[in-house]
């Protein structure tokens, strides 16, 4: 066995990456798929397109690695989290489009749950704040709005899953309906302490247990793929939500270690060890991973979620059309030394940590007649780093320790200007590893540990190598003033959709 295959199913594209024993990328394939926006604030995907694109890139990556599926020890899966799929168990066909994690259609329902006094109980059980971000109210919405869905779900005819469950279902020809603990912990239906679906929350959202997947460990053989799909029956042995997988791929195995992933959104996670830590600063408490085998230990994380990061750059490209490709933003933003007090608050799908405002909307403030493309591009990059600085501050207060560095990964972490901004706004070094595809690498590591491809966490930690370290250059007084001015801009974005 030479390789592990990682399936990395993201918000805008499906990727497959082949890793060897040294953690090096041997082959990669990627395909984008449609983003569906049926109404303002709603975001959907076609689950059939997701599966078709993921299957295609898996075959392509295997071919590029030498074309022999028998060379692969295992498959690891990592996925966009919270995105909600409901499908027919008999036909395997979805009964509606998937509701994407960014979708805000259930914000009024979340308001209702808060007004009814459920916030404290839900946070205590699940570690989550009540928000449309999570899968629970999305699933409730589908059961209420797809004709006959609730009755069919209660009869055991329908299956719910996040994207990991949907991929495993299709990889196994409909034989296996599972999710791992990290993904389960993002549904608002899972009790962190009991490590099981919570009957009280299921009753609150009127969700029948029959529709739910079995919860399994993140590292452990949970199924085998159908031989006809990839050329051999391969063990599916690792599974974690994308941000937990990235934390594992960054070898953040010790409590207090933290990483930030710059993808469609920005997601900062800090390992808090074997016990969940309740947040006082509106962070999320989440399962990091379970396993590897033999340990049967759950690692927990604190998490801060920023909804618009790379998606903000995508908006500059596709919406405003002021750049032709995402990498152009770095050179364009570098044409000016500062934004001249212009701030972009990219609350296009509301605000995540620490504001949790589903009614906030994107704003661009401080413009003058002299504001041009370069200034807006720089404000867009700054918005990514400033949102992450808000999360970092909340995490430092919750953890009651001074985080001394931040490990970074994801596509936008290759933007040197953005990483320097991040170090300046945090006031601590930002460290970029040699392998920035740590989400896929984490899924590979989880699968490889379960099948003996890698021996233990020490072997994995030894493979992690820094590629570049960005030291902060901004004076402390300037940093504090910048963050304060940013918060003024954020206040102007809040509640806009509610006011309209």
Binding site per annotation, positions for ATP? 11-13, 264, 310, 314, 411
Task: Write out the binding residues for glycerol.
Answer: 81-82, 133, 242-243
* Cis-peptide, bond into residue 354, ω within 30° of zero: yes
Maximum C-alpha span of the chain: 64
Strands 258-262 and 85-88: what pairing? unpaired
Strands 13-19 and 190-191: what pairing? unpaired
Nearest to 488 by CA among 368, 349, 352, 341: 341
Burial of 458 (0-12, 13-18, 19+ CB in 10 A): exposed
Q: Residue for token digits 């509606």?
A: 96
- E runs forming strands in 350-478: 363-365, 406-409, 430-433, 466-470
Let me know the angle formed at the C-alpha of 48 by 312 and 163, rounded to the nearest 5 degrees: 60
CA 480/CA 478 separation, integer angstroms: 6
Q: What is the DSSP string of 215-275?
A: EE-SEEEEEE--HHHHSS--EEEEEEEHHHHHHHHTT--STT-EEEEESSSEEEEEEEESS
Task: Write out the binding residues.
Answer: 11-13, 15, 81-82, 133, 242-243, 264, 310, 314, 411, 415
- Contact between 404 and 396 under an 8 Å Cβ cutoff? The reply is no
- E runs forming strands in 263-325: 266-273, 284-290, 298-306
Return the bridge partners of 344, or none: 364
> Residue 3: helix, strand or coil by DSSP?
strand
Task: Write out the binding residues for sn-glycerol 3-phosphate.
Answer: 11, 81-82, 133, 242
State how far Cα 57 lies from the chain centre. 20
Task: Write out the binding residues for ADP.
Answer: 11, 15, 264, 310, 411, 415
CA 260/CA 422 separation, integer angstroms: 10
Burial of 46 (0-12, 13-18, 19+ CB in 10 A): middle
The two three-digit tokens of residue 231, written as one number: 């050329």
* Cis-peptide, bond into residue 52, ω within 30° of zero: no
Q: Residue for token digits 């949907």?
A: 166
> Residue 345: helix, strand or coil by DSSP?
strand
């Amino acid at each position: 066995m030479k390789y592990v295959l990682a399936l990395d199913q993201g918000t805008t594209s499906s990727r497959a990456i082949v890793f060897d024993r040294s953690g090096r990328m041997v082959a990669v394939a990627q395909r984008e798929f449609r983003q569906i926006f049926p109404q303002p604030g709603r975001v959907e995907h076609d689950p059939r397109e997701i599966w078709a694109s993921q299957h295609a890139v898996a075959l392509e990556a295997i071919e590029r690695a030498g074309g022999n599926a028998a060379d692969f020890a295992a498959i690891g899966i990592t996925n966009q989290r919270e995105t909600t799929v409901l499908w027919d168990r008999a036909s395997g066909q979805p009964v509606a489009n998937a509701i994407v994690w960014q979708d805000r259609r259930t914000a009024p329902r979340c308001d209702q749950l808060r007004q009814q006094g459920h916030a404290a109980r839900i946070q205590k059980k699940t570690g989550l704040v009540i928000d449309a971000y999570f899968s629970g109210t999305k699933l409730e919405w589908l059961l209420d709005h797809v004709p006959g869905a609730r009755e069919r779900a209660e009869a055991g005819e329908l299956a719910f899953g996040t994207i990991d469950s949907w991929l495993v279902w299709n990889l196994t020809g409909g034989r296996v309906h599972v999710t791992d603990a990290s993904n389960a912990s993002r549904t608002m239906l899972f009790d962190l302490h009991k490590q099981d679906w919570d009957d009280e929350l299921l009753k609150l959202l009127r969700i029948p247990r029959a529709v739910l997947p079995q919860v399994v460990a993140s590292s452990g053989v949970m199924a085998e793929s159908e031989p006809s799909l990839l050329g051999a029956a391969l063990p599916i042995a690792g599974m974690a939500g994308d941000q937990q997988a990235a934390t594992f791929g960054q070898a953040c195995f010790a409590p207090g270690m933290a990483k930030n992933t710059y993808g469609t959104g920005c997601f900062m996670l800090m390992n808090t060890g074997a016990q969940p830590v309740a947040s006082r600063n509106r962070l999320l408490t989440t399962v990091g991973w379970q396993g590897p085998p033999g340990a049967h230990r759950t690692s927990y994380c604190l998490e801060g979620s920023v909804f618009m990061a790379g998606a903000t750059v995508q908006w500059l490209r596709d919406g405003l059309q002021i750049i032709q490709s995402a990498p152009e933003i770095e050179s364009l933003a570098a044409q000016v030394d500062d934004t001249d007090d212009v701030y972009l608050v990219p609350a296009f799908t509301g605000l995540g940590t620490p504001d949790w405002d589903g009614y906030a909307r994107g704003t661009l403030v401080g413009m003058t007649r002299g504001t041009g493309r370069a200034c807006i591009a720089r404000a867009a990059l700054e918005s990514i780093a400033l949102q992450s600085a808000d999360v970092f501050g909340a995490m430092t207060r919750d953890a009651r320790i001074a985080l001394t560095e931040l490990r970074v990964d994801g596509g936008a972490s290759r933007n040197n200007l953005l990483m320097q901004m991040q170090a300046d706004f945090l006031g601590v070094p930002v460290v970029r590893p040699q392998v920035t595809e740590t989400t896929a690498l984490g899924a590979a590591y989880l699968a490889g540990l379960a099948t003996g491809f890698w021996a233990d966490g020490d072997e994995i930690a030894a493979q992690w190598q820094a590629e570049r370290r960005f030291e902060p250059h901004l004076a402390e007084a300037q940093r504090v003033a910048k963050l304060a001015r940013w918060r003024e801009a954020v206040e102007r974005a809040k509640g806009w959709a509610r006011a309209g």
